[in-house]
Structure 1
Amino acid sequence: MEYTPREWSGGERRQSRGFRWLALLLFLLFLLVGSLLAKNYQHLGNLLRVLVLVKTQYLHPVSTGALVDGAMQGIVDALDDPYSVYLDARTFKQLQEQIRGSFGGLGILVGLKNNQLTVVRTYENTPAFENGIQPGDVIAKIDQHDARGMDLETAVQLMRGPVGSKVHLSIIRPGRAEPLDLTITRQEISVPTVQSRILDQEAGIGYLAIAQFTEKTAEEVEQALQKLQKEGLKALVLDLRDNPGGELRSAVHVAGYFVPPGPVVYIQYRGGQEDELKAEGQPLRLPLVVLVNGNSASAAEILAGAIKDRGTGRLVGEKTFGKGVVQTVFNLSDGAGLKLTTARYLTPGRHDINKKGIQPDIIVEQAPGAAVDRQLEKARQLLQEKLVRPAA
């Protein structure tokens, strides 16, 4: 249903027209969902009364469009789902333009910690690094948008933009009383998503870290594994710590290097329909330990869950974040958009990890900024024991 927002000026004719518009809106809502809302007539009566009181008694003029936008925002907020978001026309248009074009960024990796948008990693030689953004910084505002409670995908898209354009960030830094306001110029960011090296040359233990999943991650993983194999790879540490996820298909492709052909993840919809995404190809048949922590989320949890359920590696570290749901973006007729949770992920063992996370096989806590990486050392120890243990 389309509508034209009108500014309220207090004139009788416009007031009458506004009331007719509200009445028509509510009448159509009754017709569309009357059977479902028959038991909630008192709530609808309260809704109508609130609308009328706001239009007639509120101190300042307010447009009908603003009230309807607020009502839609409230409906989505009532779901208590941090990943379902109503996007007003301005924000939705901005996101669409950024998705379609070639855009720059800031050079940071962000995650959600205590429902706050938190910097996990800052890459060297990027705008974020040059402006002094640090891991642990909380991003409170992105341009005019309040980032508190904002879902991760929307926040990332808002920080992206045309190369050379500017973005304003308000940052809360632990130990600093006042917010830090920064204006940063976006640049083209080309940061590899994969890092690798040999940890123990004598034992042949390799290390491969995936920072996030993009369209090029699977190719980077393949190249890194080929390089490690030339260097005598016999066992591998796969580091998924602080990986916020990313492209689902990329994670499924990468899973093919670590699990045999078969299910990687099930996508389950409300009506009972289900999609199964499978690993293909020939996996490495090497001792494997996977590192995870509370910032391992979404696609990273899918890969970790597949390895754990398929029994091809052991998980070490801390319980993962617990994002196991899928969002679909719907276009609304007035230029706005709705990002709505429409499905859930299930691991190959059909475990629902949403809001639960994945428990590692061996729990090893790691203090932030500690001099010794206890989780990595535990992984190395497990692989050394595996390599010297006689075959069964």
Structure 2
Amino acid sequence: MKNKDFFKGLIYGVIFTLIVSLVLNTGCILFRKFVTKEINYETKAKSIYKLMKNQYVGDIDKDKMFEGIYMGMLYDTTDKYSRYISKKEFESYKISTTGNYVGIGAICSVHEDNTMYIKAVYKGSGADEAGLKQGDEILKIDNTSVGYENYSEAIELIRGKENTQVNLTIYSPTTKETKDVKVTRKSISVPTVAHTVLKDNIGYIKISGFEEVTYEQYANAYNDLKKKGVKSLIIDLRDNPGGLVDSVAKVADDIIPKGIITYTEDKKGKKEYIYSKDGELDMPLVVLVNGGSASASELLSGAIQDTGKGTIVGENTYGKGVVQTTYSMNDGSAVKITTAKYYTPKGVCIDGIGIKPDVVVKSDKDYEPVIITSEKISCDEKNDKQLAKGIEILKSK
């Protein structure tokens, strides 16, 4: 009996010690059982909200709470492309896909030291007219200091109504001067296509993305090159993240022969085909790609490769072979969901695989993506290995 009492006391002592240790290491924790009649997702969410509303010691932002719920419904339960888009984000998203917006006409980023700077200036924009240059640092926007911590807020401060002005405090690393500059916000059609003529009458077209304005810009670029007498063409899709399917299909229609451009298949097995019509490219073609070439740019390069219409040069592409559909909500927000996989003309889904170039050429270590700021562009034909290989291939044809 004594042994039994001893062991019983030992067990109780260990349990008590563990409880004390737990409380001391985690703070004061109170356990309460909250009973609900039904256990389902909707009831559980309502129960948690009721607890927070009635028991939480602080203030609750109901809108933020439910925004988190909406995001959570798509987080980690679907692929990485599906997501919830808030009303504010959706307004910006819709503008970004048109290729038109109101602003100062500069692409901004942040240095490693958290300083906000101008990465590129669009030709003819308010920033261009105000004399802002690539590399200029933005210290203040309307007397508000800006940097990495408030970068999103800074972008919102720069935006505004057309023909209004914003005051920027600019530091120029070139002149070592700091000055205040008033910049007029203007309506801008962002160039997604730029072109030039290379040696040996080779035309070059760079496409940075596929937006609503892209096909018209591509057609204008191609027609200009034809007038200048080019005999072959390089289309540069490096670091092109994709865009609108309708836009890339129009470009593909001008390039590949009559037939399938691509087709999609949804979860029910329903297939939808996109076809090219009469009127294909009538000159030798090289397409440049790399690991930053994704989605719609892979759709175009895949169609060109499968139809034998051109030679793909560069590095393996990203491998995004799925299509997202954006559904708008009544409150102005939206949900973007992956609804189908797309396939090349030969029936290959490149999702997670990418497109292997016909001719593999690794990029230079110091290669940097070209930012299109106008319809004209200059190319480094000597130091760009992938471009040089494309020129070499076309010269042999």
Distance 1:222 1:337, change over 3 A: closer
Report the equivalent of 1:173: none
Report the equivalent of 2:8: none
Distance 1:79 1:184 in 2: 45
Is the contact made by 1:142 and 1:159 (CA closer than 8 Å) also made in structure 2?
no
TM alignment of 1:155-234, pairs within 5 A: 162-164=161-163, 186-201=185-200, 204-234=201-231
Distance 2:119 2:318 in 1: 13
Structure 1 counterpart SS, 2:189: coil
Structure 2 counterpart SS, 1:291: strand
Displacement, 1:195?
2.7
Distance 1:298 1:141, change over 3 A: farther
TM alignment of 1:221-300, pairs within 5 A: 221-300=218-297
Distance 1:226 1:274 in 2: 34
Report the equivalent of 1:6: none
Distance 1:373 1:225 in 2: 22
Report the equivalent of 2:77: 79
Report the equivalent of 2:60: 62
Distance 1:185 1:270 in 2: 49
Report the equivalent of 2:388: 377
Question: Quick one: which amino acid aligns to residue 375 of structure 1?
Answer: Q
Report the equivalent of 1:3: none
Is the contact made by 1:107 and 1:123 (CA closer than 8 Å) also made in structure 2?
yes
* 1:360 matched to 2:371: no
Distance 2:390 2:124 in 1: 31
Is the contact made by 1:244 and 1:300 (CA closer than 8 Å) also made in structure 2?
yes
Question: Quick one: which amino acid aligns to residue 326 of structure 1?
Answer: V
Distance 1:59 1:206 in 2: 67
Displacement, 1:167?
9.6
Is the contact made by 1:103 and 1:162 (CA closer than 8 Å) also made in structure 2?
no
Question: What percent of counterpart residues are identical?
Answer: 35
Distance 2:354 2:159 in 1: 28
Distance 1:49 1:361, change over 3 A: same
For 1:240-269, what per-residue CA distance to the aligned partner results, in whole angstroms no more than 9, with x for missing partners? 123232332221111122210111121221
Distance 1:110 1:275 in 2: 39
Structure 2 counterpart SS, 1:103: strand
Distance 2:349 2:157 in 1: 30
Distance 2:61 2:323 in 1: 34
Normalised to the residue count of structure 1, the TM-score between the two structures is 0.65
Question: Quick one: which amino acid aligns to residue 282 of structure 2?
Answer: R
Question: Quick one: which amino acid aligns to residue 67 of structure 1?
Answer: M
Aligned residue-pair number: 319
Unmatched tracts of structure 1, length 5 or more: 1-19, 31-43, 112-118, 146-154, 170-182, 388-392
Report the equivalent of 1:172: none
* 1:88 matched to 2:101: no
Question: Quick one: which amino acid aligns to residue 322 of structure 2?
Answer: V
Is the contact made by 1:142 and 1:167 (CA closer than 8 Å) also made in structure 2?
no
Match of 1:324 among 321, 326, 329: 321
Is the contact made by 1:142 and 1:158 (CA closer than 8 Å) also made in structure 2?
no
Is the contact made by 1:211 and 1:243 (CA closer than 8 Å) also made in structure 2?
yes
Distance 1:373 1:139, change over 3 A: farther
Structure 2 counterpart SS, 1:341: strand
Distance 2:213 2:85 in 1: 29
Displacement, 1:133?
6.0
Report the equivalent of 1:314: 311
Structure 1 counterpart SS, 2:256: coil
Distance 1:79 1:102 in 2: 34
Is the contact made by 1:308 and 1:315 (CA closer than 8 Å) also made in structure 2?
yes
Distance 1:158 1:255 in 2: 39
Distance 1:196 1:366, change over 3 A: same
